[in-house]
Structure 1
Amino acid sequence: MKVAGLDLGNDSIKLVLDGGGEPLLVPNVVAPGFERHILQEEDQPLKALDVIVHSPKLAKNGERSFVGLLAMENEDNTELEDMDNKALSDQSLIVALTALAYAGVATGSASQSGYQGYDEVEYVLGTGLPVRAFSRYNRSFEERLVGEHEVTFLTTPRLRNRKVKVIVRRAIVSIEGAAAVFHMATHDSLQIRDEELYHGTIGVCEIGALTTDFPLIKRMNIDNQFSTGEQIGLAHYMDMIIREVEDQYGYRFPSRSKLAQRIKAREFTIRRMGEGQTDIKPIVDMYFTRAANRMVELIKKRWKKVPDIQCFYVIGGGAAALKPYLQAAAGSLKLRFADESELLNVYGYYKLAKSKTAVQKA
């Protein structure tokens, strides 16, 4: 049985397994699947996740889907929107189960079940929800994950027609942002690494795609009164960038994930049919500056309400993208950032699952 951290990000699913190795990232994008006309097979399985997912927890069970990178380029793809709830989302569950099945096979964790030639992989999962969703949906979220599911890879290279039974024995659900602080405060052995973080009063601004969470951590406990969240994230500004670029230049990004890839790579040049190249960085700067100003105002409001906060960490995928803009907007206000910002939660989820599993064994 594998212990794993699973972050169901609205932009991408992140997965960390015990035994080390690089985190697995799969864009949280899905498109309806169909028979593919393959001229040249992709060189990696992750580039062509073509699956049928069977799960009693899915409203539309057993449908064919393109997932992740394969779906990003499809004009019929879907990304999560503001009104979507990841705890109840079929899309997030499909991407998560696909990632868990792939990771089980790719790392050699899966075993032959002997049942119709299936591979079988078992997990104890650590995962999380936004602050505002946690109290209401953590039980529902746990129930959707726990149980037996089946993923069949269709035209995926090296996994063609391979069936994987994914068994989730237990899901430990925590709060986004709080898990990140637990990761930063502890060693891999779960011993204390940072006394200030572990014993202090820490403010967190966790900027995601659709939500921004403000958990307040006191001695590694969540403050129920002052922890809160906002139903806005970086996706709102990404969508505005996509519309602005299309209006000005007639160029449309097929998905937010595609734009995010460009921004991460610092590739701001687009090619216009018959008209050469155009630099879209001024558009990105304009909207990211607006996003940063809003986030800094929200942080100031939280800090004024709880003046005992010792430091304020800004984390998450949104923090990584907005860091220079946030620093400019903050001025003399000291904000803390961390390396691998978008992976802090998933490492924290993994450590929390590892901690709970160790306690249970003891």
Structure 2
Amino acid sequence: MLFKTEQSYTLAIFHQTFTPFYYAAPACFYLYITGFLQDRRSLESVEWLHFVPALLAIIHVIPWHISTSTDWNLVGTQLAYNGYFSLNAKTGLFPPYFHYIFRPLLVISYLCATWIAVMQLKDQPQQLLESESRTWIIFFLRIATFFQLFGLVPIILKCLHISYVNTYFIVINCLALLLIFLYTLHKPYIFYGYLLVAVDWTKKSTPEQTGTDHIFVPLTADNPIRNSSTAKKINLLDEQLADYAFAMKEIMEREELYRLHDFQIIDLAAKLNMPIHHCSFVINKKIGKNFRDWINGYRVDYFLKQYPLRSDKITIEAIASEAGFKSQATFYNAFKKEKGLMPRAYFAREISH
């Protein structure tokens, strides 16, 4: 579009600015999936090496004095005619094949690595791919794989000396996006808990309760989704805090809700028919923990009761999964946080005493 409107200077700025992001995308895709599978929210030191291609792209687009001047009219012509992967004009420090060879190899490598990481969990019972998270992660992975591989088709056709029209690929991409949009409108729950707040639309609103039900605050009495300024203005009596805390502990222990891999604070609030911000406030102020640590405490206690009885028949990881942990990393981190030791060291110390 920029080329057709003869805005070569804007094209140069746009192209050079977004090239590093283009090379960081495969690594971000892989790290998101693997982080999701392992329930990790931060990168390990060695994982920053995945962004070396993006660093090379930054070096590539820096206007070094040693590099020759770029003919952006030629770049625009090639982009408009054959697409990005067929770019033969020099756009920076490195030769043109930095784009049309290195980037496709990067995409294919990360796609393969991501699918391998997902398939390795397929044969493990009660792991992530057997939980509700499977729907989201497989949906996300399939959609991303389709668009990445479809973007490589022009290169394959060019290598086979088969002519193609770039406009057709743009139209097919748009149609695919439209179909995905219609599919997600039909099944919006795919995004719940990941891109949207999880809400059970099948539940009817409950009228306000009075009398003996005073410890439960109905959702209709107060919108559960508040801004931060409203959430800070929670004034509950000590008796109310105690009643809320008792109700939370009672339902958690009676129904063993902690054993559900994807149980969240919004689910607890819905079961108790109380606002989410009240639920969070009581856990923080009365119980003295955040929700994640509180529920993981129940899971660790369950593990401690089951492992001595079944350690000869089942692995540590299997009991941890049964307790509600959806990844080994989460279990070991939670256990060490609760007991100060890893499981084997903890039981060895207990036996010695």
> TM-score, normalized by length of structure 1?
0.25
Bigger relative contact order, structure 1 or 2 (CA pairs below 8 A, ≥6 apart):
1
- Greater share of residues in helix: 2
> TM-score, normalized by length of structure 2?
0.25
- Greater share of residues in strand: 1
Structure (1 or 2) with the larger CA radius of gyration: 2
